């Protein structure tokens, strides 16, 4: 579980986030100073997560539209981030977003699949 933000009043910009998981679409607001995962949990939307530090990839998602800032996403190679992969536990919205959550397996295959052939 992501630590709760005890100070919900913020001057940070707020963006609309659409997250789809297992075919179900959820919409909620998220602040620029709040991770997408924290925003989802604050809205009552449970998305996959584990380490909450950008390492394990359980919270991997594909950003279909919009922009995130994720300087601590150690679990995703830079070139895969450029292709749209994000770790929602360390991804901060920089615009309205449309994300496809639950992409841990796809990210794993993209990063390591060539080593298993």
Q: Which domains does the chain have, with CATH numbers?
A: 14-116 (3.10.20.30)
Per-residue b or e along 22-42, where b marks 16 or more CB atoms closer than 10 Å to that residue's CB: eeeebebebbeebbbbbbbbb
Q: Which pTM was predicted?
A: 0.88
Torsion sign, CA atoms 50, 52, 56, 60 = positive
8 A C-beta contact, residue 83 and residue 107:
no
Average pLDDT across each block of 10 residues of the chain; the chain has 117 residues. List them in order.
54 96 98 98 98 96 98 95 98 99 97 78
Q: Which two tokens stand for residue 49?
A: 């997560």
8 A C-beta contact, residue 88 and residue 35:
yes
Q: Look at residue 88 in the predicted model and tell me its pLDDT.
A: 99
């Amino acid at each position: 579980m992501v630590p709760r933000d005890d100070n919900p009043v913020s001057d940070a910009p707020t963006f609309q986030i659409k997250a789809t998981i297992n075919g179900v679409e959820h919409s909620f607001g998220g602040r620029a100073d709040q991770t997408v995962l924290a925003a989802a949990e604050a809205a009552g939307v449970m998305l996959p997560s584990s380490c909450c530090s950008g390492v394990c990839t359980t919270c991997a998602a594909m950003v279909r539209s919009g922009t995130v800032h994720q300087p601590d996403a150690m679990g995703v190679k830079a070139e895969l981030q450029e292709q749209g992969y994000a770790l929602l536990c360390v991804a901060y919205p920089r615009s309205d977003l449309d994300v496809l959550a639950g992409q841990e397996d796809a990210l794993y295959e993209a990063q390591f699949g060539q080593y298993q052939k």
